[in-house]
Amino acid sequence: MYLGIDCGTQGTKVVILDAEQGAIRGEGYAPHALISEAGGRREQEPQWWIDAFEQAYRQALGQARIDSRAIRGIGVSGQQHGLVVLDASGEVIRPAKLWCDTETAPQNAQLLDLLGGEEGSMARLGLVLATGYTLSKLLWLKQHEPESFARIAHIMLPHDYINYWLSGEIAAEYGDASGTGYFDIRSRCWVPDVLALIAPDGALERALPPLRQAHEPVGRVRPRVAARLGLGDRVLVSSGGGDNMMGAIGTGNIADGIVTLSLGTSGTVYACTDRTPAQPSALLAPFCSSSNGWLPLICTMNLTSAANAVRELFGLDLNDFNAQAARAPIGCEGISLLPFFNGERVPALPDASGSLLGLNMQNLTPANLCRAVLEGTSFGLRYGLDLMREAGIEVQQIRLIGGGAKSAFWRQMVADIMQVPVICPRIGEAAALGGAIQALWCDSRTNGPGVSLQSLCDRYVALDESSALKPDPVAVAAYETAYALYRERLGSLHPGA
């Protein structure tokens, strides 16, 4: 048995994978609170992640009806970019600033300028700094909470912290480290001179964790945690990774041609490749994968969060919301929604707000507004997918995950807008499954060459053929017209986007 943990923004999911039967034996979930304040602050207490994990773990264990001592390994997926800082005694100094925190936008702009703009950032890191990356959070902490900054002894990402709680070992791996802003994605190493822009005395460099390759374990579950969870005394903790990196493994996206698209709180589109990706756009993040390759990725900050805001505005449940959206024609009779309610990352508009354009007395209906938020968020993902295509990424099939993927209506919309066939994996908790598969991969290699990750994905990632949809030529043409209007209005309000 192998345990997969996915610590996301809204909650923590746990799955128990039976390696012999090739099936998920148990699943669990527990929510997180969110510190959300004016000015873009988005934070969580790391202890909330541990509490949620324990709750979700016990749910999964109860459902699986297995002896917990049968668990051989644990793989952790975590929300990317979050900043967890520990003092010299290993205690958390303050709440973690999250990926969706835009309070640090001024610091990101300051650091990008110090690096020499986009060109300088690309030269040093292989990517362009974006608001939300970990680096700007460190500068924010120095400027706003100097006493907390002075106590920093260890810098971690969310999944690193959970690994630390489990094993007592401090380490990081290439995939999640790619999104920090102080890691070179080409040479796969930390870039201390970037941290020196914030702390010339080398204090931040000394706080960096050692790096692991994707197939290398961090350590073993420490005795007191094993006793608390009812585990055996030799349970392996794999390197783990960011939620997108683990989602790639959990959708079998570890080779060219497959793209994973997540319709979650945020929207992400990513593909796996064994070569360092070309980058015609600064908005494309060519992260490392957690399978020892690369994972070019774009992320939009407003997806199901935006859809849920509109749904709740009308007091609709999910079925009624989808029914309303389906009543409206493609293009919503001229309405475009730019759903930047929490700023935006792609396009790079951290200070933007949402805009509803093209309203008149004839088209102002609940149906049009419900459809407009789905189209607007999907057009944002199309914007990102086009950037990937321009970078030479092959797109033969899209594998859909996230809560929005459960909607057949939205799935068809994605197929038509992206002009690519779509399908969902049978197991929706892709990042948690990816963690379990990576733990199995790590475990298999501890005493020899082990099995290939591809063979594990072939065995444990099953696709739901009943969810498969192909683009409809008539709808494709209609969406192209609506998308052109969206891009025109986007460029008018935000020149250069």
Is the peptide bond between 350 and the residue preceding it cis, with omega within 30 degrees of 0?
no
- Residue 374 and residue 275 share a domain: yes
Q: Measuring CA to CA, how many Å separate 107 from each of 32, 294, 349? A: 27, 27, 15
Looking at residue 394, its pLDDT comes to 87
* Rounded CA separation 445/425 (Å): 26
What pTM did the predictor assign?
Answer: 0.91
pLDDT value at 265 more than 90: no
Q: Measuring CA to CA, how many Å separate 116 from each of 83, 122, 123, 342, 459? A: 24, 9, 9, 27, 47
* Rounded CA separation 183/194 (Å): 9
* Rounded CA separation 268/298 (Å): 6
pLDDT value at 183 more than 80: yes
Range of the domain at 57: 2-242
Residues 6+ apart with CB under 8 A from 242: 77, 78, 79, 80, 157, 159, 175, 176, 178, 179, 287, 290
Q: 242, 271, 305 — which closes off a domain?
A: 242
What is the 8-class DSSP label of residue 217?
-
Count of structural domains within the chain: 2
pLDDT value at 209 more than 90: yes
- Residue 232 and residue 250 share a domain: no
Looking at residue 372, its pLDDT comes to 98
**Residue 444 covered by a domain:** no
**Residue 449 covered by a domain:** no
Looking at residue 216, its pLDDT comes to 93
Structure tokens at 318: 């999910």
Mean predicted confidence (pLDDT) in 13-31: 96
Position of tokens 């400027």?
A: 143
**Residue 457 covered by a domain:** no
Query: Which residue, 419, 411, 427, 398, is CA-closest to 322?
Result: 411
Exposure letters 408-445 (e unless 16+ CB within 10 A, then b)? eebbbbbbbbbebebbbbebbbbbbbbbbbbbbbbbbb
Query: 89-103, 267-281, 344-358, 405-419 — which is least confidently predicted?
Result: 267-281
- Residue 300 and residue 162 share a domain: no
- Residue 269 and residue 196 share a domain: no
**Residue 330 covered by a domain:** yes
* Rounded CA separation 56/392 (Å): 40
Looking at residue 345, its pLDDT comes to 86
pLDDT value at 496 more than 90: no
Looking at residue 448, its pLDDT comes to 78
Stated length of the chain: 497
- Residue 345 and residue 262 share a domain: yes
- Residue 216 and residue 260 share a domain: no
Question: H helices of 259-329, where?
Answer: 304-313, 318-327
**Residue 441 covered by a domain:** no
pLDDT value at 142 more than 90: yes
Strand partners, 360: none
Looking at residue 212, its pLDDT comes to 94
The edge-to-edge listing of strands for the beta sheet with 35-37 is 35-37, 41-44, 96-97
* Rounded CA separation 120/113 (Å): 9
Looking at residue 350, its pLDDT comes to 85
Instruction: Tell how far CA 123 is from the center of its chain.
Output: 25
**Residue 447 covered by a domain:** no
**Residue 107 covered by a domain:** yes
CATH number for position 341:
3.30.420.40
pLDDT value at 280 more than 80: no
Residues acting as catalytic residues:
243
- Residue 234 and residue 211 share a domain: yes
pLDDT value at 88 more than 80: yes
Mean predicted confidence (pLDDT) in 282-304: 91
- Residue 299 and residue 198 share a domain: no
- Residue 37 and residue 22 share a domain: yes
- Residue 228 and residue 344 share a domain: no
Q: 242, 275, 292 — which closes off a domain?
A: 242
Tell me the HSE value of 184 on the side-chain side, using a 13 A CA sphere: 12
- Residue 269 and residue 230 share a domain: no
Mean predicted confidence (pLDDT) in 227-254: 96
Residue 21, Cβ density class (10 Å: 0-12 exposed, 13-18 middle, ≥19 buried): exposed
Comparing 293 with 5, the larger pLDDT belongs to: 5
Mean pLDDT, all residues of the chain: 95
Q: Is 334 left (phi over 0), alpha (psi -120 to 50) or beta?
A: left
- Residue 237 and residue 255 share a domain: no
Looking at residue 160, its pLDDT comes to 98
Position of tokens 């969706």?
A: 100
Q: 242, 264, 296 — which closes off a domain?
A: 242
From first CA to last CA, the distance across the chain in angstroms is: 47
User: Above pLDDT 70, what percent of the chain?
Assistant: 99
**Residue 487 covered by a domain:** yes
User: Above pLDDT 90, what percent of the chain?
Assistant: 87
